[in-house]
Structure 1
Amino acid sequence: MQIRNPITLNDWRIRSYFIAILVFQLGLLVIQLLGSTNSHILVLQAILGFAFFSFIPGIIVLRIMRVHYLSTIETLLYAVGLSIAILMFTGLLMSVLYPLVGISRPLSSGSILMTINVTTSILLLLSLVRDKEPVESGYIDTEMVLSRPALLLYLVPLLTIIGTYFVNQYHSNGILMLVIAFIAVIPILVGFDRVIPEALYPLAILSISVSLLLHTSLISLYLWGYDIHYETFLANLVMDNAFWDSTSPGNVNAMLSVVLMAPIYSYITGLDLTWVFKLVYPLTFALVPLGLYHVFRRQVEAKSAFLACFFFVSFIIFYAEMASLARQEIAELFLVLLIMLMVARNIPRTTNFTLFVVFGASLAISHYGTSYIYLLALIAVWLYMTLSSIAATRGDTMLNRSRTAVGERSSGGGSLSRKDDGRTITLAHVLFFTGFTLGWYMLVAGGTSFDTIVSIIDHIGNTIFVDLLNPEATEGLDLLISTPQSPLHTVAKGLHLITLALIVVGFIAICFRRTNTNFSREYVAFSFIALLFGVAGVLVPNFSSTLNTSRLYQIVLIFLAPLCVIGGISILAAPGTYISKLRSGWLTGRTPLVLISVLFSLLFLFSTGWIYECANDQPSSIALSQDSIKKYGGDTPKNVFYGTFIPEHDVFGARWLGEYMRDGSIVYADRTRKDNVLTSYGNLARNPPFLPKTDFKPVWGAYTYLGTYNVVERSASGPEEYYDHWSIEEIYPAIYRNNKVYSNGQSGIYRNE
């Protein structure tokens, strides 16, 4: 049996398309107007609000642009990307234009809901005018989507949600351990060509991505991580004032993916900011591997594309660090959309460029670091493609002249015409993205985003020869030569080094056409630039540390992940190897992919901390090993744990302080508590003073905040760096001399009066 594909709604006949969207919008509008405190209504509003505004506006724009007959993955990702762009730029226009007509609170709840609904309705009417031609909609085979393998893949995210509930409520990690183990089996099943058919590879990737992201983001009822707290502070500021101050300095304040997108989603879903960041952003980010599968599949066969995506999501950076870095989550989605446009051959050039403008601008307003990396790569690739094209043209001209000299005539009676090389990156692309990115960063938020990159370049330039190959100045090199904590950690590091070597081998293989792949010249050029970024992170002083080594690696893996698979195949199937000498047996043709899948599964079990938890070997996963860290962890693991995980008692204390402290009062806290929980839940700006290690003398009227790490573990972090930890015993007498104004057993607040 077949049903209409709801994802390719832009391909439906115009009447069905209009009715479906209108009913959806009116139903959501009724739910929003009810404003009920009924929990079921609120859940329904969250689901429908997220689904509608994350997808429908983009589908409408695709119809306006007359974009049809795309694959399901392309339609889904383009629609989501366009929808998010519409939300961010609508919020921007509201912030700029509404005050001009006397609306002092342009970003209030009512204003946002009315404007976005009106905007969607106008776009819907415009699509009816622009595209009335009959279109044949696609269909879904229900036997496939309801097959046993599909139902099994649907079950994985559900079990993940149940597993996080048991961790939060009962401190039991059994279900999550089983989920991680099952996810590790999936690539092996793919490698052996068992259970999961090729048609379900996209579903498997989406299931794995959602499960991995939720298995960390849903841990605790509160935010955890580092950057997410400051992002929440800025989003709260916009919601409290119903206005975005574009002149307020700060890199993050220039990122609309946080300061506008988060408040807008909070209003349309009815979720508070904590759950917007813990649910909406991870679920949106889960589309990134799905988009990468589409990109990889255009260039390699299905199994290799799947394994490359699994390799990408298997690192802790994807499901832990990114889950607490909202602006980069959105930026990576737009980066993948730009890559999809680069390999697209089914979209007219004009439409392709229009989408590039939208997604490129959205990338620039989402994350400065990702934008700068893409900008440098874009310029480098365009220069390479242009120069190579000129060289090829000159070569053709010289060949024609030589042929003419010996009496040969080229077809057409003249010089050979240059063939279209399939390039999708032109000077217009480079000029637009460069101009918009630099213009935005120089004009918004006091130009701090532009000043930051200038200072980074200047700092690197001043130290590149002085600190070359100095581990203290080169974070990537320090990670490579550092000594692991245990034999198991040594094995994990060895596996990571193997993947790095495979990436290099894979790049060499595609350059010399040693593999049966279809990589475009532009993709190969981007991969080379990404490889250079990775090398720079190891060799260039202060390069990876200023950009953050893990986040840099996350970005370059977007281009390099398939090269790891290609490298493995090239080595295992190379002439002279044992596998290449096999002549029979059902496993012969698939042996390289089977071995690669086993390697990736093993690497995944190490990265998630599953193996460390089983062996009780210095586990660090906040999802799997909370109790182990608290009971058996050393000073450093506990400092890292309490630096990312925020206990409930700390949240209560921070909220009390934010509500009852006297205006203008000074607050002392250690570095981690000050920058995290007091920023997000106390609404206090990130700034000194921090608790000193000795000689603590608080000023009159100042507050001193202590969290669980301070009270229970008798330790503190900072003041210079998060990883710096020390005993608080020496300054406890000075703290106790103040009046205790709040305590919940594990968090306390004192006031000097």
Structure 2
Amino acid sequence: MYSNLGYIRVSNRNLLIVCLSIQLAFLGTVGFDLLNLNIPVLRQLIGFIYLTFIPGFLILETLRLNKLSLIEVILYSTGLSLCFLMFLGVLINFLFPLVGISSPLSDIPLIVTISFVVILLFIFNMSTKSNSYYEFEYKNTSFLFILFLLLIPFLAIFGTLLVNFYQNNLLLMISILIIIGVVIFLVFKDSISKNVYPLSIYVISIFLLYHYSLISMDLCGWDINTEYYFSRLTVQNSFWDPDLSNNVNSMISIGVLMPVYSILLNLDLIWIFKIICPLLFSLVPLCLYSIYIKQTNEKVALLSAYFFVTLFVFYTEMLSLVRQQIAEFFLILLISLMVNGNLSNSKRSFLCIIFSFSLVVSHYGLSYIYMFSLIFSGILLFISNNLWIKKLKNMSHFINIFASPKKVFITQSYILLFVVFALAYYIYTSNSSAFLSLTRMINHTFNSIFTDFLDPGSPSGFSHITSSSISPLYNVAKYLHIFSQFLIIVGVITSLKETKFINITTEYKLFSIIYLLILVVSIVFPFIEISFSTSRIYHISLIFLSPFCVIGGITIIKLTSNILNISWTEKRFKNSLKILSIFFSILLLFNTKFIFVIANERPTSIPLGQEKIDLYGDEDDIISFYSQYHPETEINGAKWLSRYREHSFNIYADRAQVYNKLTSYIMPKEYGLVELTNDTTINENAYVFLGYSNVHFGLMFNKKYSEKSWYGINEISQILDTSFLVYSNSGSGIYYKPKV
């Protein structure tokens, strides 16, 4: 390794030796644990680096991929490592029992097998590859500023500790202002090296994810509890059973990948979900920056990635969807391949197939959306290349926009391969539960398309737009989001005619238009909300659409300048970026609920609003807050019931408890949990579980799509009065209901 004129050149052989050193260091930490010489955090730190980067980097070296930037090396290495762990884990799971190893997914089989393959890859690369270099730029980079950026994630760690133990959100509030200041500073100051932009996006992403995920010693959210249950089942059995009928269980990202991390890092699954998964997911905005910069300039790419992370879904809903976090990372890698012109067709095709298969086995919902977008994009590309359509006068300009590029990512063979693999996998795992979900969604779509279209009373994004807001501040937040969506539409239209600061590829434009249409459909048609929430579809769409919000903002400011007879100069362009940086920062203040906490107005933020929710929240706020955040007393009640219950008895609880803590520690709903509503009758031996919001506030979470989100506990008094209290603490209660 040597440095020259602002560049660092590193020999690939030196990097291979580093890989071997990390391999040996990981084995050393395992040896320390076997000798009971436990060094806190050491195995987890070295193990994470080893599992997340080393196998993938060795595969990259095997593929002879040298024309990659530092960001691409990190991202592709991580992606290939995750693929390696998932598919090797599946092979171990099914092949080892054939040779008498009854617990294939346990520490010794995993460590021996993974280490063996990694060492083989190391030997192969050392013996066959000539010496080459990776070159990384660092010129004009302020190392003090880099050090400052690296401290930002620790603000989230210390800030959440203060919230968890002292209910003090001051450090988190100050930290949010700091990350806003960082972005505005970078946009306003041209003298700061653009080499720090990727790191800035990465640390801001980690902060936003950690400021939410590290709240509580347990899991927060909904779907994550089902994911935890099936991952824990694999860890307990040292085997993944793909025949269990559940959509979540069919995902290798949950059934294999998370358990592998937990077993090899010797870290409880709860902390895998709360620490490791956000670290992986924070690579998504970093990858988006690398995608955007290939099609715009550095500051537009920075603001585009910043806009993506400002949406609350990124650091709230997504943290309770581990399988979608992993799937989104693979989707982002596929987009990166789409816009990367430095790869040969054969190598790009190989990576494309690997990442596509990994997407399929990570999340069925995102795979279906990607599958339909592939099909429609393929149809449009076919039409655009059809000679007789090109002859139509009115269509010629539109068709030229989507003329096929020289290096085609979307081919008929690729579309067919993806569709066949996805459908085959979902049909033949978990009793076709993921495939049946698709058929139910399609069936419901056709049944609802005429009855619910544009019905403001239906549960859709359109109802949120047309309904009156609960307060003036929420009205402001709503219109800020509507305005940002307007900017996206303007940006997409603008991009159809290239300007000097954008050079968006044909296929990227095509996908962007398709995902814009998907977003519009999800808002207008209520039936989409039942299968995939509008907010999540918006988040997914922003993967493609975020740059267009910036482009649209620049376009609107430019049009305003023209109307005011102000000449459009380079300085005006830079000023437009400054205005957008402030606009996105205001969005972040609203999305984190910073503004609402300051104003004492419905402070439903889990990290920021804990000390104020009981004082300033109404019944809807309280029931929403405690359906995602679970005090320790409630968790203790769920654990007690899991340990001492009679297994033949069903367990009744409100919807929030059924899908959250009872799923985490006992079983998913379909295996014996029953939703307790205000019209439920119990005529059997059963348990009734009450959680924190039930006991403290007398509020029960209502069934889905009810007019009110809650009903009073007095409405089930007949059930409780005829039951026996068998367990109680300050945050939960368990009743035994004898058979009538």
The 5 Å alignment of 1:122-141 reads 122-129=120-127, 131-139=128-136, 141=138
SS of 1:246's equivalent? coil
For 1:538, the equivalent position in structure 2 comes to 523
1:711, distance to aligned residue in structure 2 (A):
1.0
Partner residue of 1:65 out of 63, 66, 69 = 63
Matched, 1:358 2:357: no
1:44 aligns to what? 42
Change in Cα spacing, 1:198 to 1:751, as seen in structure 2 (3 Å) is: same
Cα distance in 1, alignment partners of residues 123 and 678 from structure 2? 64
Aligned to 2:726: 741
Aligned position for 2:634: 650
Which of 637, 651, 654 is matched with 1:667 structurally?
Answer: 651
- Map 1:62-211 onto structure 2 (within 5 A): 62-129=60-127, 131-139=128-136, 141=138, 144=141, 147-193=143-189, 196-211=192-207
Residue pairs, 1:491-530, within 5 angstroms: 491-514=476-499, 516-530=501-515
1:392/1:611 Cα in 2 relative to 1: closer, same or farther (>3 Å)? farther
**Percent identity over the alignment?**
37
Partner of 2:398: none
Deviation of 1:267 after TM superposition, in Å, equals 0.8
- Cα deviation for residue 591 of structure 1 reads 1.6
Gaps of 5+ in 1: 397-417
User: Structure 1 length normalisation: TM-score?
Assistant: 0.91
User: Which residue of structure 1 lines up, in the alignment, with residue 230 of structure 2?
Assistant: 234
Equivalent of 1:448 in 428, 433, 452: 433
More deviation, 308-317/670-679: 670-679
Please give the residue correspondences for 1:491-640 in structure 2 after superposition, counting only pairs within 5 Å: 491-514=476-499, 516-574=501-559, 577=562, 581-582=566-567, 588-640=572-624
Shift of 1:373: 1.0
Aligned mates of 1:123, 1:8 — CA distance in 2: 25
The structure 2 residue matched to 1:221, chosen from 207, 217, 222, is: 217
Judge conservation of contact 1:704–1:749 (CA < 8 Å) in 2: yes
Aligned partner of 2:318 among 316, 322, 343:
322
Contact 1:213 1:282 in 2 (8 A): yes
Name the aligned partner's letter for residue 135 of structure 2.
G
2:558·2:568 contact (CA, 8 Å) conserved in 1?
no
Q: How many residues align?
A: 724
Query: Which residue type is aligned with residue 95 of structure 1?
Result: N
Distance apart, 1:117 and its partner CA: 1.9
Q: Name whichever of 452-461 and 297-306 sits farther off.
A: 452-461
- In structure 2, distance between residues paired with 1:191 and 1:30: 45
- Find the counterpart in structure 2 of residue 339 from structure 1: 335
Question: 2:88 is aligned with what amino acid?
Answer: T
Instruction: Name the CA shift for 1:383/1:115 in 2 (closer, same or farther; >3 Å).
Output: same
- C-alpha displacement at 1:3, in angstroms? 6.1
* Residues 167 and 251 of structure 1: CA distance in aligned 2, closer, same or farther (over 3 Å): same
Change over 3 Å in CA distance of 1:596–1:17 after alignment to 2: closer
Q: Do the aligned partners of residues 534 and 419 (structure 1) sit closer, same or farther apart at CA in structure 2, a change above 3 Å counting?
A: closer
Provide the C-alpha distance between the structure 2 equivalents of 1:281 and 1:544, rounded to a whole number of angstroms: 26
Distance 1:489 1:465 in 2: 31
**Is 1:459 matched up with 2:482?**
no
Displacement after TM superposition at 1:580 (Å)? 6.2
Structure 1 residues 492-534: Cα deviation after superposition (integer angstroms, max 9, x where no partner): 1111111010001001101133563100111100001011101
* 1:192–1:38 distance in 2 versus 1, CA, 3 Å: farther
Question: What is residue 412 of structure 1 aligned with on the other side?
Answer: none
2:472 matched to which residue of 1? 487
**How many angstroms does 1:379 deviate by?**
2.0
* Matched residue, 1:641: 625
Q: 1:572, 1:580 within 8 Å by CA — same for their partners in 2?
A: no
Q: Does 1:18 align with 2:3?
A: no
Q: Does 1:257 align with 2:256?
A: no
Deviation at 1:694, TM superposition (A): 5.3
CA gap 1:684/1:329 in 2 versus in 1, 3 angstroms? closer
Partner of 1:469: 454
Measure, in 1, the Cα distance between the counterparts of 2:26 and 2:360.
Answer: 31
Closer, same or farther: CA 225–125 of 1 in aligned 2, 3 Å:
same
Name the SS for the 2:675 alignment partner: coil
Where 2:77 maps in the other structure, the secondary structure is: helix
Aligned-partner residue type, residue 439 of structure 1 = A
Measured in 1, the distance between the counterparts of 2:186 and 2:241 equals 50
1:520 is matched by which residue type in structure 2?
A: T
Secondary structure of the structure 1 residue equivalent to 2:65: coil
In structure 2, distance between residues paired with 1:714 and 1:362: 45
Give TM-score scaled by structure 2 length. 0.93
Distance 2:568 2:77 in 1: 48
After superposition, where does 1:278-289 map in structure 2 within 5 Å? 278-289=274-285
CA distance in 2 between counterparts of 1:392 and 1:621 reads: 56
Q: Is the 8 A contact 2:603 2:616 kept in 1?
A: no
Amino acid in the other structure paired with 1:158: F
| Structure 2, unaligned runs of 5 or more | 393-402
SS in 2 for 1:748: strand
Change (3 A) 1:77 1:110: same
Instruction: Pick closer, same or farther for the CA change 1:153–1:252 going to 2, 3 Å.
Output: same
CA deviation profile, 1:708-750 (whole Å, cap 9, x unmatched):
1111111211344697311112434642554333222222222
1:578 shift after superposition: 6.0
**Cα displacement string for residues 571-612 of structure 1 (whole angstroms, at most 9, x for unaligned residues):** 11127536760588x953412111111111111100110011
Q: What is the CA deviation profile of residues 87-109 of structure 1, one whole-angstrom value per residue up to 9, with x for unaligned ones?
A: 11011112222222233322223
Letter of the 1:12 partner, please give it: S
Contact conserved, 1:474 with 1:543, CA < 8 A, in 2? no
Aligned letter for 2:11? W
Question: 1:568, 1:596 within 8 Å by CA — same for their partners in 2?
Answer: yes
Cα deviation 1:46-71 (Å, max 9, x = unaligned): 11111110010000000111111310
Change (3 A) 1:181 1:695: same
Q: Does 1:307 align with 2:303?
A: yes
Distance 1:697 1:137, change over 3 A: closer
- Which deviates more from structure 2 when the two are superposed, residues 452-461 or residues 74-83? 452-461
RMSD between aligned residues: 2.6
Aligned match of 1:401: none
SS at match of 2:559: coil
Determine if contact 2:561/2:568 at 8 Å carries over to the other structure: no
C-alpha distance after superposition, 1:117-175 (max 9, x if no partner): 2222222223334x42110232464973x623212211211111110000001000000
Displacement of 1:189:
1.8
Deviation at 1:441, TM superposition (A): 1.0
Rounded Cα–Cα distance in structure 1 between residues aligned with 2:603 and 2:111: 45
Q: For residues 218-264 of structure 1, give each alpha carbon's deviation from its aligned partner in whole angstroms, at most 9, with x where no partner exists.
A: 01111010000000011111112222111222211111111111100
Q: Which moved more, 1:458-467 or 1:499-508?
A: 458-467
